[in-house]
Chain A
Amino acid sequence: MSSQFQHLLVERRGPVGWVINNRPEHLNAYNTKMHQELAEAWRTLDADPQVRVIVHSGEGRAFCTGVDVNEMASDDFGVERYRQAVEDNDLGLTPLHLGVGKPVICAVNGVCAGGGLHFVADADIVIASSEAEFLDPHVSVGQVAAHEAIGLMRKMPVEAVMRMSLVGRTERLGAVRAYELGMVGEIVDPPDRLQEVAQALGETIAANSPAAMAATKKALWGALEMGLTDACRAGAVHLVSMWGHPDQSEGPRAFAERRRPNWALPIDPRTSAATDPSAATDQSGEGGPRP
């Protein structure tokens, strides 16, 4: 899978699809090419029926340091290359932007700055190595901090997000404080075990019903868009969408029979004709629910 990508490593390890930022000499800042590749990677992994969970991490000491400022300074496009995307709110950068239906784990391996926070804000689950640090230097370079912070504010205490956005480059939120605040769910120490821990978590999640997880994601992310009662009403639609789905009877049956469930493959119009539901059991990993 990786061969088509210049700045990313994209591969499948069992049921887990991996996207690894691979511009370590630029602290994994994304240039235009890498931006396009990220979009392509999310689409590819979301469409691959063998991939049940996606993990996003980085190579080297940084996870991602946002837009490649040097590239912007090197041509006449500058920030203008992003105008249409920002004005249309169509950044095409993160799994959330691309409408990925599978669970996404962001595994933050090091410094995560500015636009790198998009991936933290937009992931379902975030874990971090003990060396991870978070900062938003936008205002220190004359830019507005907005989309990343708006996403984070929905998911963690707001004061910490406002502080990061207004203080800028001179202050870093460490992994421990990020864990305390609920910005990340787990700290991996020693840091070099991050990918191993992320893979294990991915395999655990991959044992769950893909259809149920996709509906759950829709209900929960949708709830960030509206008031509580409206969110419950909208969530009910996703909940009821599982009624009559084979997983809904297979799950309790497998539980009663003390065996691993055989989930139906998610229906994807691009791949559904070619899939064999029996293959799903081979991909469910070792972490399946046990009665």
Chain B
Amino acid sequence: MSDYERLIVERDGPVGWLIFNRPDAANAMDVTMLDELERAWDELERNPQVRVIVNTANGSAFCTGVDVVQLSKDKAALTVHSRRTRDATLRMSAWHCGVTKPVICAVNGVCAGGGLHFVADADIVMAADSATFVDPHVSIGQAVAYEAITLIQKSPMEPILHLALVGRRERMTANRAYQLGVISQVEPPDHLRTAAQELAITIAQNSPSALAATKKALWGALETGMTQAKRHAGPLVTAQWAHPDAAEGLQAFIDGRAPQWAEPDSQGS
């Protein structure tokens, strides 16, 4: 795939991989990486051969947030990032970038501060047993907002507030994150990528159009009350009935054979 300086973007069968690749800086996001993230999500979303996306990192850390020191040296980039932060229009995560394909976050090591965006915004999260989660924002005088706001929608709230308010001296382990349902799978570090690929392959057997509509319904449900969310989901359910996959899926089930899904178009729908 295209050239990236701070990322590795590749495909293994139906699985697209977005790998943070700035290990000497604990995968902190500098200006280049921020730009590349937006491009990489878009590339994976548009590639019709990619059905599921895995996000992980090279090195011992997963991601340690925005590289504020480097960012502050680039006046123009700082302005863009500050404006996006102010307007809640960040373009870091798959959710920010409107990715409609399933995204698995495979946390290989420490995930700190802004790195939590990728955990909060993924559909499925797994981690190495050595991974930890920490939110040092308040320890360096910054407010916590987006990462924790999403996480408290998805998991018990006290542990998220706990991390947000204690700051850099508190780390949540992978096992605790599993207990709380923040993540659903813990693996030995050297098996993490294999496990992520296996799960992604499993998901890739499902109807791409049904997966996209399901994602839309479920993430949309975090925006409104329950009944309103169900009302919004109704048209997504019935629209799928007009898609060839809906009839094919049921017929294949009745015939006891593997379904032949329609090829998704290049927009990833």
Chain A interface residues (CB < 8 Å from chain B): 69-70, 72-73, 78-80, 83, 86-89, 138-147, 149-151, 153-154, 156-163, 165-168, 170-171, 180-182, 224-226
Contacts and interface: CB of A to CB of B under 8 A. Distances in A.
B181 A69 contact: no
A150 B230 contact: yes
Interface of B: 102, 123-125, 153-156, 179-184, 199, 202-203, 205-207, 209-211, 213-215, 217-218, 221-222, 225-231, 233-238, 240-241, 243, 245-254, 259, 261
B215 A166 contact: yes
A140 B181 contact: no
Contacts of B102: 166
Given A139-B214, A142-B261, A144-B214, A153 B125 contact: no
A164 to B, nearest CB: 9
Contacts of A165: 214, 218
A263 B241 CA distance: 50
Contacts of B183: 159
A182 to B, nearest CB: 8
A69 B184 contact: no
B226 A141 contact: no
Nearest to B125: A159
A153 B252 CA distance: 29
Given A146-B237, A149-B218, A162-B124, 20 more contacts: A89-B227, A139-B211, A140-B206, A141-B250, A142-B210, A142-B245, A142-B249, A143-B207, A143-B250, A145-B217, A146-B230, A146-B233, A147-B233, A151-B230, A157-B180, A158-B218, A159-B155, A160-B181, A181-B181, A226-B225
A-side binding surface: helix, strand, loop or mixed? Answer: helix
A166 B214 contact: yes
Contacts, number: 170
B157 to A, nearest CB: 11
Given A138-B214, A157-B180, A143 B249 contact: yes
B202 A89 contact: no
A150 B210 contact: no
Contacts of A156: 181
Nearest to A79: B241
Contacts of B228: 225
Contacts of B222: 153, 158
A153 B160 CA distance: 17
